């Protein structure tokens, strides 16, 4: 058993909140050391040092999990940091755990206060071992970080000496919830230096890093003793060019440093922000060279590349990547800046396919899905936010809770790991059973076998769609029962395939699937068209294969898009809109929507200088005014799900269900003369898959690269070509 289980949970005798406490202990070695291993976790986030040097290159450990059920511990090799006499120090910030979410009734995410559990095992060359455990022999004192909060920021008082040390107190707290690191540690990544200095019309001093990112700023602090340097982090300037922070809601995103009179380098350790700009107050002369922005996110490896003849599209790809970087910070979050930053299941579900194209996210989602499973209620409901908030809000909304079924399947397609699918299967099944149990309750209400229950109850619906009379209205107009029924059918379809792969008897679910599809057709469709006239309605009927007349539904969708002249879809419809148009044989219309630059469109924010994907189509209106400050993030990844269509249809790279993880690849590009050349690749377990093409003298020239060990075929303008490993050169004229 890991030595951490012998250690004792320790805390300060008196709560130091909001000051960061330092737990420490000195010890000497009694011989030559072969290896030293530190196993460590905390209530809060820890920053561990041995003899003044940081242990490990990860930050915000032990990460964010469903704290009541699961708490990770980290294992570090500390051998190189040991000396004869040692000082082991661990500071514990409040992290996610103790922030009070104003948006959710001012409740802490999890109960309790900062605490530490650790064991340093030293193995000597003579084979003997010694373990330093957290216990009453440790001390605690206050540090110069006199305020810390993940959402609000830090105050560092460099004039403060370390506080008076007092013995740590052992207390009883569960060790049953411990597990070794399961996810991907958060690390520092890109550094943005030399920001542009701006003095706004209001006279504010601002630095622009040129990229919206999630992270913090390293500051070279100069100043007289007692000077107070304040740095506010924010996303956008308003239409007059002044600082705009209202969309951050209650999150203060502010660092405050009180100078000691001696220059030093400062960077926060217990907080992060979503920002592109900083506003600086409290010093007379701001030198941009003293400020560096550091992007922090889970250490996921990028696996895609994309470039094409349309520069704005290349920038959109860049924005999608940065939306993911900024919101894959230990858990998949909706946004990194305002007083939210939560693991909204709907956003994650919508984006998961794109996420797995652009980065290696298998482990990242494995951990998060385990948290989600741990939070499933006994009757099968799935929360809309995971890790769940302390007060357990928001259970089971269609398109959100379905993350429990859809994400494991998407990960299976992307990585081909049946073990993970098997691990998720009980959660998937239980969630579908929950829906089915509700259906059965209503069975008498109709002559159909069941009534989908979620016509009532709470659903977010086609969140932020533009089909309401008021474009600021968050609730899309598409019928919520239609959306819920469509998702039930989609979930059933996935569950049946999964069950069969795992050798399960699925006839009960097959019947339920048939009933659901029949119900959808009876309740929401007529003559192959959805009764409702929103774009999202036929999109779901097409993409989830619920229509019995795809030609009629496709024509309906094309008609709506052409009539509006643009998209009007929200979170639900947007992810599938271009796919649905492709299914309707209208790739031309899909490309028109993709390349549209006027409001509303994917490229409109790009023309407005966006460097990440916005939460709303109308985040900044064409006349420069902002959408509702209550919900207007400039770094939300959901609409970035369009990259999935660019990858799988425009570039035409598709994994396939029968040989997942890209063991078999189907190249199905649909080139369009408006994108005259394109290069797109994806790093798989087998090697790099590539699709490249260009138009020359009316002929399309394709190069498809197939890694060794994979099989592949290409479908070009209705003809199928077998491919071999290595590069395949094909040319074809577009006849259609
Ligand atoms: C979040 C969304 C989320 C939604 C629920 C918002 O506040 O930012 O992205 O999915 O709430 O509809």
pLDDT of 158 higher than 50:
yes
Per-residue pLDDT, 447: 42
Per-residue pLDDT, 674: 97
Q: Which atom of ligand 1 is nearest to the CA of 346?
A: 10
For a pocket test of ligand 1, which of 333, 334, 574 has the largest count of ligand atoms closer than 8 A to its C-beta? Answer: 334
Q: In whole angstroms, what is the distance from residue 282 CA to residue 303 CA? A: 43
Which long-range contacts does 720-726 make (Cβ < 8 Å, 24+ apart)? 723/667
The DSSP symbol for 640 reads G
CB atoms < 10 A from the CB of 185, how many? 18
Pair 6, 134: CB distance under 8 Å:
no
Per-residue pLDDT, 392: 54
Per-residue pLDDT, 113: 81
pLDDT of 450 higher than 50:
no
Tell me if residue 64 falls in helix, strand or coil. Answer: coil
Q: Atom 2 (ligand 1): residue with closest C-alpha?
A: 334
Which long-range contacts does 620-623 make (Cβ < 8 Å, 24+ apart)? 620/236, 620/239, 622/598, 623/239
Q: How far is the CA of 344 from the centre of ligand 1 (A)?
A: 7
Pair 359, 302: CB distance under 8 Å:
yes
| DSSP-derived secondary structure for 667-721 | E-----TTS-EEEEEEEETTEEEEEEEEEETTEEEEEEEE-TT-EEEEEETTEEE
- pLDDT tens-digit map of 520-568: 999 999 999 999 999 999 999 999 999 999 999 999 999 999 999 999 9
Q: Atom 11 (ligand 1): residue with closest C-alpha?
A: 344
Closest by CA to 389, choosing from 468, 437, 331, 347, is 331
Model-level pTM? Answer: 0.96
- pLDDT tens-digit map of 648-685: 999 999 999 999 999 999 999 999 999 999 999 999 99
Instruction: Give the mean pLDDT of 453-461.
Output: 68
Instruction: Give the mean pLDDT of 384-397.
Output: 74
Q: How far is the CA of 2 from the centre of ligand 1 (A)?
A: 39
| DSSP-derived secondary structure for 338-354 | SS----BHHHHHHHHHH
3-state SS track over 224-277:
CCCCEEEEEEECEECCCCCEECHHHCCCCCEEEEECCCCCEEECCCCCCEEEEE
Q: How far is the CA of 412 from the centre of ligand 1 (A)?
A: 26
Q: Atom 3 (ligand 1): residue with closest C-alpha?
A: 344
Confidence tier at 65 by pLDDT (50, 70, 90): very high
- pLDDT tens-digit map of 391-442: 555 677 899 999 999 999 999 999 999 999 999 999 999 999 988 887 765 5
Pair 26, 52: CB distance under 8 Å:
no
Give the largest Cα separation in the chain, rounded.
84
Confidence tier at 102 by pLDDT (50, 70, 90): low
Q: Which atom of ligand 1 is nearest to the CA of 636?
A: 9
Instruction: Give the mean pLDDT of 87-92.
Output: 98
Alpha-carbon torsion (639, 643, 648, 651), positive or negative: positive
**Average per-residue pLDDT for the chain:** 94
Higher pLDDT, 475 or 10: 10
Q: In whole angstroms, what is the distance from residue 452 CA to residue 481 CA? A: 8
pLDDT of 374 higher than 70:
yes
Q: Which atom of ligand 1 is nearest to the CA of 103?
A: 7
Per-residue pLDDT, 34: 97
Per-residue pLDDT, 469: 87
Pair 689, 654: CB distance under 8 Å:
no
Q: Atom 7 (ligand 1): residue with closest C-alpha?
A: 631
- pLDDT tens-digit map of 317-346: 999 999 999 999 999 999 999 988 999 999
Per-residue pLDDT, 110: 65
Q: Which two tokens stand for residue 709?
A: 């060990």
Per-residue pLDDT, 589: 98
Q: Which atom of ligand 1 is nearest to the CA of 631?
A: 7
Q: How far is the CA of 454 from the centre of ligand 1 (A)?
A: 19
Q: How far is the CA of 393 from the centre of ligand 1 (A)?
A: 13
Q: How far is the CA of 333 from the centre of ligand 1 (A)?
A: 10
CB atoms < 10 A from the CB of 69, how many? 17
Closest by CA to 461, choosing from 481, 474, 480, 446, is 480
In the sheet that 45-50 helps form, which strands lie side by side, from edge to edge?
Answer: 53-54, 45-50, 85-93, 21-28, 139-142, 166-167
Per-residue pLDDT, 437: 80
Q: Which two tokens stand for residue 510?
A: 């097959």
The DSSP symbol for 383 reads B
Higher pLDDT, 446 or 118: 118
What is the CA angle 128-54-207, rounded to 5?
170
Q: Atom 1 (ligand 1): residue with closest C-alpha?
A: 334
Pocket lined around ligand 1, Cβ cut-off 6 Å: 334-335, 340, 344, 346-347, 460, 463, 631, 636
pLDDT > 70 in the chain, percent: 95
Confidence tier at 368 by pLDDT (50, 70, 90): very high
Q: Which atom of ligand 1 is nearest to the CA of 615?
A: 9
Q: Atom 4 (ligand 1): residue with closest C-alpha?
A: 344
Residue indicated by tokens 């429990």: 404
Per-residue pLDDT, 227: 95
Q: Which atom of ligand 1 is nearest to the CA of 338?
A: 8
Per-residue pLDDT, 449: 43
Tell me if residue 495 falls in helix, strand or coil. Answer: helix
Closest by CA to 372, choosing from 346, 391, 336, is 346
Q: Atom 5 (ligand 1): residue with closest C-alpha?
A: 460
Q: How far is the CA of 214 from the centre of ligand 1 (A)?
A: 18
Q: Atom 9 (ligand 1): residue with closest C-alpha?
A: 334
- pLDDT tens-digit map of 36-56: 999 999 999 999 999 999 999
Closest by CA to 213, choosing from 318, 345, 301, is 318
CA distances from 348 to 301, 345, 661 (A): 18, 5, 20
Q: Which atom of ligand 1 is nearest to the CA of 463?
A: 12
Peptide bond into 62 cis (omega under 30): yes
Q: How far is the CA of 410 from the centre of ligand 1 (A)?
A: 21
CA distances from 713 to 651, 703, 724 (A): 14, 12, 8
CA distances from 599 to 346, 572, 586 (A): 24, 19, 21
- Report, as residue numbers or ranges, the catalytic residues: 340, 615
pLDDT of 453 higher than 80:
no
CA distances from 42 to 25, 61, 91 (A): 16, 8, 10
Q: Given the DSSP bridges, would you call strands 153-157 and 254-258 parallel, antiparallel or unpaired?
A: parallel
Q: Which atom of ligand 1 is nearest to the CA of 474?
A: 12
Closest by CA to 48, choosing from 101, 103, 9, 93, is 93
| DSSP-derived secondary structure for 523-581 | HHEETTEESS-SSHHHHHHHHTT--S-HHHHHHHHHHHHHHHSS----HHHHHHHHHHH
Q: Given the DSSP bridges, would you call strands 291-298 and 236-237 parallel, antiparallel or unpaired?
A: unpaired
Instruction: Give the mean pLDDT of 99-109.
Output: 69
Per-residue pLDDT, 456: 55
Pair 402, 491: CB distance under 8 Å:
yes
Q: How far is the CA of 636 from the centre of ligand 1 (A)?
A: 9
Q: How far is the CA of 196 from the centre of ligand 1 (A)?
A: 32
């Amino acid at each position: 058993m890991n030595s951490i289980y012998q250690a004792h949970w320790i805390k300060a005798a008196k709560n130091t909140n909001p000051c960061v406490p330092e737990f420490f202990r000195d010890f000497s070695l009694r011989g030559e050391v072969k290896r030293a291993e530190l196993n460590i976790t905390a209530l809060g986030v820890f920053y561990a040092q041995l003899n003044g040097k940081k242990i490990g290159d990860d930050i915000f450990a032990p990460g964010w999990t469903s704290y009541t059920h699961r708490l990770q511990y980290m294992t570090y090799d500390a051998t190189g940091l040991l000396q004869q006499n040692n000082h082991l120090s661990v500071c514990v910030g409040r992290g996610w755990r103790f922030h009070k979410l104003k948006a959710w009734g001012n409740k802490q995410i999890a109960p309790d206060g900062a605490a530490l559990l650790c064991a340093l095992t030293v193995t000597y060359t003579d084979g003997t071992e010694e373990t330093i455990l957290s216990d009453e022999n440790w001390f605690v004192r206050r540090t110069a970080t006199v305020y810390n909060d993940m959402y609000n920021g830090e105050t560092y008082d460099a004039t403060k000496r370390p506080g008076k040390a007092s013995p740590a107190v052992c207390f009883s707290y569960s060790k049953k919830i411990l597990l070794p690191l399961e996810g991907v540690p958060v690390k520092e990544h890109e550094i943005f230096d030399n920001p542009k200095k701006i003095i706004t019309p209001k006279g504010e001093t601002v630095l622009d890093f040129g990229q919206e990112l999630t992270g913090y700023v390293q500051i070279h602090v100069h100043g007289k003793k007692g000077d107070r340097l304040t740095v506010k982090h924010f996303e956008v300037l308003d239409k007059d060019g002044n600082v705009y922070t209202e969309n951050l809601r209650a999150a203060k995103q502010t660092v405050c440093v009180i100078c000691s009179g001696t220059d030093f380098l400062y960077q926060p350790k217990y907080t992060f922000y979503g920002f592109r700009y900083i506003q600086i107050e409290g010093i007379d002369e701001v030198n941009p060279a003293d400020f560096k922005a550091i992007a922090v996110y889970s250490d996921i490896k990028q696996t895609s590349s994309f470039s094409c003849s349309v520069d704005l599209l290349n920038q959109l790809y860049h924005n999608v990547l940065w939306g993911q970087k900024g919101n894959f910070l230990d858990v998949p979050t909706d946004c990194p800046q305002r007083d939210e930053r939560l693991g909204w299941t709907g956003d994650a579900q919508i984006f998961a396919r794109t996420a797995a194209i652009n980065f290696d996210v298998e482990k990242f989602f494995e951990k998060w899905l385990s948290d989600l499973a741990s939070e499933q209620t006994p009757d099968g409901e799935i929360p809309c936010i995971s890790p769940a908030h302390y007060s357990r809000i928001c259970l089971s909304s269609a398109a959100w809770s379905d993350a429990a079924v859809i994400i494991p399947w998407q990960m299976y397609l992307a990585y081909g790991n049946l073990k993970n699918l098997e691990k998720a299967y009980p959660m998937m099944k239980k969630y579908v059973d929950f829906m089915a149990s509700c259906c059965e309750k209503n069975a008498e209400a109709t002559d159909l076998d069941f009534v989908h229950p979620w016509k009532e109850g709470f659903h977010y619906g086609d969140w932020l769609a533009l089909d309401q009379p008021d474009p600021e209205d968050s609730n899309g107009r598409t019928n919520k029962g239609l959306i819920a029924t469509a998702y039930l059918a989609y979930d059933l379809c996935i569950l049946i395939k999964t069950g069969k792969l795992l050798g399960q008897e699925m006839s009960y679910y097959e019947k339920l699937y048939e009933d659901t599809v029949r119900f959808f057709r009876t309740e929401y469709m007529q003559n192959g068209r959805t009764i409702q006239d929103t774009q999202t309605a036929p999109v779901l009927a097409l993409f989830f294969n619920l229509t019995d007349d795809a030609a009629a539904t496709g024509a309906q969708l094309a008609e709506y898009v052409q009539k509006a002249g643009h998209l009007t879809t929200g979170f639900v419809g947007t992810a599938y809109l271009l796919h649905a148009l492709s299914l309707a044989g209208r790739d031309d219309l899909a490309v028109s929507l993709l390349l549209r630059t006027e409001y509303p469109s994917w490229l409109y924010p790009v023309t407005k200088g966006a460097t990440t994907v916005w939460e709303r189509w109308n985040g900044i209106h064409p006349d420069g005014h902002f959408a509702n400050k209550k919900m207007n993030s400039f770094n939300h990844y959901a609409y970035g799900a369009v990259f999935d269509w660019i990858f799988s249809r425009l570039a035409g790279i598709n994994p396939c269900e029968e040989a997942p993880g890209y063991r078999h690849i189907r190249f199905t590009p649909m080139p369009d003369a408006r994108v005259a050349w394109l290069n797109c690749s994806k790093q798989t377990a087998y090697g790099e898959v590539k699709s490249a093409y260009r138009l020359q003298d009316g002929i399309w020239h394709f190069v498809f690269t197939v890694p060794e060990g994979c099989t592949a075929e290409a479908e070009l303008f209705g003809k199928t070509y077998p491919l071999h490993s290595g590069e395949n050169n094909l040319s074809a004229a577009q006849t259609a």
